[in-house]
Copies of this chain bind each other. A is one copy, B any other.
Amino acid sequence: MGGRARWADGFIAVDWGTTNRRAYLMDSAGACTAEFEDGKGILSVPAGGFPDAIADIRGRLGDHPLLLAGMIGSNRGWIEAPYVPCPASLDDIVEGIVWASERRDAIVPGVSFVGDGRADVMRGEEVQLLGAVASGMIPANGLVCHPGTHNKWASVVGGKISSFRTVMTGELFSLLKDHSILSDLLQRDVEPDEAFRSGVRRALDHDAQAELFGVRARVLLNQSPRDEAASYASGLLIGSDVRIGLAGNPAGRVVIMGRPELTELYAAALGEAGASFTEVDGERCFLAGASAIAERLNDVRAS
C-alpha cells in the first residue's frame, strides 16, 4: 500500500452534509474528472451503515483514497473528528484529520470558535475557506459571507480562519414558511427585487424579530401587496443577517462564497448596505481546498 503514490495518483473528495452528499473524483493533475450528488446525507445513513455508504462511493467513482469533509465527522456522522479551534490554518486542519480505516479514509475536522461571550462551530465550510485562500481565489485577510441554511460570516486573518459567526437565517425563513402564521404569505419564490430590497433596508436599522409580524399586518391593512410578502420577509431576515455580519467589520470588501443560486440574495443585500463585494463559486473553493489538503497528506505520508 504505497500511501504517497495513492493520494498523488488521484483521490475522491466528499462534501458530506446533513441531507446531501457530493463526491468528486480528482485526478493526479488536480482536475475533477467525475462527480455525483445524491440525497444520502448523514441523517439518511442507518446505524452501522457508513461502510456501505462509502463502498457505494468507491463503486461509482473508483477505488481511491477518500477525503471526507462536512457533517460526516460530527457526532451524528461516522467517526467524530474533534473541532480545530480558531485561529485555524490549513495545516491545522490536516493535523486534525482522523483516519477511519487503513489510512485511506481521511475525515476532515470542523472548526470551532469560542470568544466574545459566545461559541460557534462549522463543518465543511473550512475546506472551502482555506482552499480559497491557498489557491489565491480570495485574499489572506478579509471577511467572507457563506450563505446557506446556516449562513457563516468568517474573518480570515493571515490566511487563517480567525473567528466566525453562524446566523441561522435560511432555517428561520424555512420555519416561518412551513409552519408559522406567515406561512400562507411566504409560498412564492423569493427574488432580489424591490420588495426584497425594501425588507433589507428596513432590517439594516430595525430588528427583524420586531418586524416579522408586520409582514402579515401590512397585507391585512392593504399597505403592501400580498405577492410581495415572501420577498419582503426574506429581505428582513437577510438584511438583519448582513447588519450582523458587517457590524464587526465596518470597512473592506466582502467575499460571498457559495452556489450562485444561494449568493444572489446576499449580494443584493450587501449592495443595499453599501458594502463592496466579490463572489466566488463555493464548489471551486471546495475542490481547491481538497486538493491542497491531499497535497499535504502526500507530504505527510512521505515523511
Contacts and interface: CB of A to CB of B under 8 A. Distances in A.
A180 B172 CA distance: 8
A220 B118 CA distance: 12
A214 interface: yes
A207 B240 contact: yes
A120 interface: yes
Interface in A184-243: 202, 207-214, 216-218, 220-221, 223-224, 237, 240-241, 243
A34 interface: no
Contacts of A75: 220
B171 A180 contact: yes
Contacts of A207: 207, 240, 243-244
Contacts of A210: 165, 167, 244
Nearest to A211: B118
A251 interface: no
B209 A172 contact: yes
A100 interface: no
Nearest to A83: B221
A112 B75 CA distance: 49
Total copies of this chain within the assembly? 2
A119 B179 contact: no
Nearest to A212: B168
A142 to B, nearest CB: 20
A292 to B, nearest CB: 26
A118 B220 CA distance: 12
Kindly state the interface size class of chain A when it binds its partner. Answer: 35 or more
29 contacts: A75-B220, A112-B217, A112-B221, A117-B202, A118-B211, A118-B214, A118-B217, A118-B218, A119-B214, A119-B217, A119-B218, A119-B221, A120-B213, A121-B220, A121-B221, A150-B181, A150-B213, A165-B210, A167-B210, A168-B209, A168-B212, A172-B172, A175-B176, A175-B179, A175-B180, A178-B179, A209-B209, A209-B241, A210-B244
Interface in A108-145: 112, 114, 117-121
A166 interface: yes
Tell me what chain A mostly uses at the interface: helix, strand, loop, or mixed.
helix
Nearest to A117: B202
A291 interface: no
A19 to B, nearest CB: 11
Contacts of A208: 209
A155 interface: no
Interface in A87-123: 112, 114, 117-121
Given A83-B221, A112-B217, A167-B213, 10 more contacts: A112-B221, A118-B214, A121-B217, A167-B210, A168-B180, A172-B172, A175-B176, A175-B179, A178-B179, A209-B240
